[in-house]
């Protein structure tokens, strides 16, 4: 059977950034305004005062220092605390299409390929800015690809689920080369008025090119040794936004139509599931954790990543073994583990083994074991 190879990756990083201090300043101004506005009710006990946020808490609890975003101004306006991303006319590329094309071009360049070599596009991310036509079909047209495209959403595991679909397509012969693209605009579904989570997300887009091995020069890219997916239903990370259930017009005042989570429960329940999935997946291809040179883990929380790596390896992982991009990017949903891979793989040598592993809402876990060619 033809084997699949990851031959290139790309990353689009929005130029605008928000430091923790700036985010907290805007949030705390909102809190002050709110508490002033409802001072009488708060004094009578009819309403709770809102509590301020703190940059020190954010960095300690999550490892996040800043995030890249599509729009700074709307997020930092205490009256709004929500990005301003204007609608575009139908004859202009969508925001997600623009991000996707930028990341895809880098992946193609890295692989030394052009759009003419690609015959499928999977856009895999947590939120699509419209249901149809599929964002992936728009990206396919923008890149000039002849073939097929479809969208996939499995929250933070979208990219690894998309990767398995791409690997299957290549190995089964329905495509020669597949782009898996994750345009994550997490700032659009984050509730910047929620103290527990207002700091969690950032925006970015990744792209991965998966090709038939006979089309990739020896020594280039990564063999895909196996993929494993796992899902188990949970309400602990949820977003009720949908076409039957839209919330208010501004989209800023309906908390359950945005990201909500029980972060502590997620931490406790998901960490052991992820470690067990990585270990059993490695065992299924006759590998041991000690064979791994690198783990490119989903980037949601630094402490969680350290715990998972420790459970897998039986000891603390070094920063080289489990690289972290949370400080610069925050949680970029399904793009996170792919950003870590994109930025931290060039030092690996032929034969080095690694695992890309995502986890998140669903719950969902996706594991991809790869070997440097
Ligand atoms: N600023 C200051 N203090 C804050 C705060 C903020 N923004 N948000 C919460 N706190 C306070 C809490 O009120 C609490 O105070 P208390 O002890 O007096 O009650 C304290 O900080 C600890 O809060 P807690 O929620 O227990 O923090 P935590 O260490 O669990 O960290 C998360 C919170 C969300 C960062 C963490 O649980 C997490 O990342 N979980 C995993 C999430 C995940 O992977 N999600 C997947 C999403 S795709």
Residue 351 forms part of a structural domain = yes
In the reported structure, the alpha carbon of residue 196 is separated from the centroid of ligand 1 by a whole-number distance in angstroms of 6
Residue 199 forms part of a structural domain = no
pLDDT at residue 250 tops 60: no
Q: Which tens digits make up the pLDDT trace of 195-230?
A: 999 999 999 999 999 999 999 999 999 999 999 999
Instruction: Determine which residue's CA is closest to atom 39 belonging to ligand 1.
Output: 301
Residue 147 forms part of a structural domain = no
Report the number of distinct structural domains present in the chain: 1
Q: Which tens digits make up the pLDDT trace of 69-120?
A: 999 999 999 999 999 999 999 999 999 999 999 999 999 999 999 999 999 9
What pLDDT does 254 receive? Answer: 78
Are 366 and 333 contacting, i.e. CB atoms less than 8 angstroms apart? Answer: no
Q: What is the mean pLDDT of residues 18-31?
A: 98
Q: Which atom of ligand 1 is nearest to the CA of 333?
A: 48
Are 203 and 189 contacting, i.e. CB atoms less than 8 angstroms apart? Answer: no
In the reported structure, the alpha carbon of residue 262 is separated from the centroid of ligand 1 by a whole-number distance in angstroms of 9
| pLDDT grade for 240, boundaries at 50, 70 and 90 | very high
Instruction: Collect all residues with Cβ–Cβ distance below 8 Å to 106 and sequence separation of at least 6.
Output: 8, 9, 10, 11, 12, 207
Residue 208 forms part of a structural domain = no
Residue 207 forms part of a structural domain = no
pLDDT at residue 129 tops 80: yes
309: its two tokens: 């790596």
HEC secondary structure over the chain:
CCCEEEEEEEEECCCEEEEHHHHHHHHHHHHHHHHHHCHHHHHHCCCCCCCCCCHHHHHHHHCCCEEEECCCHHHHCCCCCCCCCCCCCCCCCCHHHHHHHHHHHHHHHHHCCCHHHCCEEEEECCCCCCCCCCHHHHHHHHHCCCCEEEEECECECHHHHHHHHHHHHHHHCCCCEEEEEEEEEHHHCCCCCCCCCCCCECEEEEEEEEEEHHHCCCCCCEEEEEEEEEECCCCCEECCCECCECCCCCCCCCHHHCCEECHHHHHHHHHHHHHHHHHHHHHHCCCCHHHEEEEEECCCCHHHHHHHHHHHHCCCCCCCCCCCCHHHHCECCCHHHHHHHHHCCCCCCCCCEEEEEEEECCCEEEEEEEEEC
**Domain extent for 244:** 222-372
258 CA to centre of own chain: 16
| Residues in contact with ligand 1 (CB, 6 Å cut-off) | 53-54, 57, 61-62, 156, 195-196, 237, 261, 263-264, 266-267, 300-301, 304, 331, 360
Are 358 and 334 contacting, i.e. CB atoms less than 8 angstroms apart? Answer: yes
In the reported structure, the alpha carbon of residue 64 is separated from the centroid of ligand 1 by a whole-number distance in angstroms of 12
pTM: 0.96
Q: What is the mean pLDDT of residues 257-284?
A: 95
State how far the Cα of 106 lies from the Cα of 243, in Å rounded to an integer: 34
Residue 81 forms part of a structural domain = no
State how far the Cα of 246 lies from the Cα of 233, in Å rounded to an integer: 23
Q: What is the mean pLDDT of residues 40-61?
A: 97
Active site amino acids? 156
Domain CATH for 335: 3.40.47.10
Residue 161 forms part of a structural domain = no
State how far the Cα of 286 lies from the Cα of 273, in Å rounded to an integer: 20
In the reported structure, the alpha carbon of residue 195 is separated from the centroid of ligand 1 by a whole-number distance in angstroms of 9
Q: Which of 182, 194, 263 to mutate to test the pocket of ligand 1 (most atoms within 8 A of CB)?
A: 263
Instruction: Determine which residue's CA is closest to atom 12 belonging to ligand 1.
Output: 196
320 CA to centre of own chain: 20
Which residue's structure tokens are 């690694």? Answer: 354
Residue 63 forms part of a structural domain = no
């Amino acid at each position: 059977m033809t084997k699949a190879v990851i031959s290139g990756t790309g990353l689009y990083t929005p130029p605008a950034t928000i430091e923790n201090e700036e985010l907290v300043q805007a949030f705390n101004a909102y809190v002050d305004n709110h508490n002033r506005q409802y001072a009488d009710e708060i004094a009578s006990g009819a309403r709770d005062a809102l509590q301020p946020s703190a940059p020190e808490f954010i960095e300690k609890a999550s490892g996040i220092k800043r995030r890249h975003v599509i729009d700074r101004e709307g997020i930092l306006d205490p009256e709004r605390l929500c990005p301003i991303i204007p609608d575009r006319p139908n004859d202009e590329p969508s925001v997600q299409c623009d991000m996707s094309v930028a990341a895809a071009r880098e992946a193609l360049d890295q692989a030394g390929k052009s759009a003419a070599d690609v015959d499928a596009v999977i856009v895999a991310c947590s939120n699509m800015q419209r249901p149809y036509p599929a964002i992936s079909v728009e990206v396919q047209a923008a890149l000039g690809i002849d073939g097929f495209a479809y969208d996939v959403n499995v929250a933070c595991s979208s990219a690894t689920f998309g990767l398995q679909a791409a690997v299957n397509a290549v190995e089964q012969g329905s495509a020669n080369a597949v782009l898996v693209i994750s345009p994550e605009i997490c700032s659009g579904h984050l509730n910047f008025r929620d103290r527990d989570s207002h700091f969690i997300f950032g925006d970015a887009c990744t792209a991965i090119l998966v090709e038939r091995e006979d089309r990739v020069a020896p020594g280039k890219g990564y063999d895909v040794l196996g993929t494993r997916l796992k899902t188990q239903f949970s309400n602990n990370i949820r977003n009720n936004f949908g076409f039957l259930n839209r919330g208010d017009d501004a989209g800023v005042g309906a908390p359950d139509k945005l990201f909500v989570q029980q972060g502590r429960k997620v931490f406790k329940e998901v960490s052991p599931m992820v470690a067990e999935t990585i270990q059993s997946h490695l065992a299924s291809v006759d590998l041991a954790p000690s064979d791994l040179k690198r783990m490119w883990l989903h980037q949601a929380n630094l402490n969680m990543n350290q715990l998972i790596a420790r459970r897998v390896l039986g000891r603390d992982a070094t920063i080289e073994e489990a690289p972290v991009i949370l400080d610069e990017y925050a949680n970029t949903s399904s793009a996170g583990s792919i950003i870590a891979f994109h930025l931290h793989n060039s030092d690996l040598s032929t034969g080095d083994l690694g695992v890309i592993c995502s986890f998140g809402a669903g719950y969902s876990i996706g594991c991809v074991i790869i070997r440097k060619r």
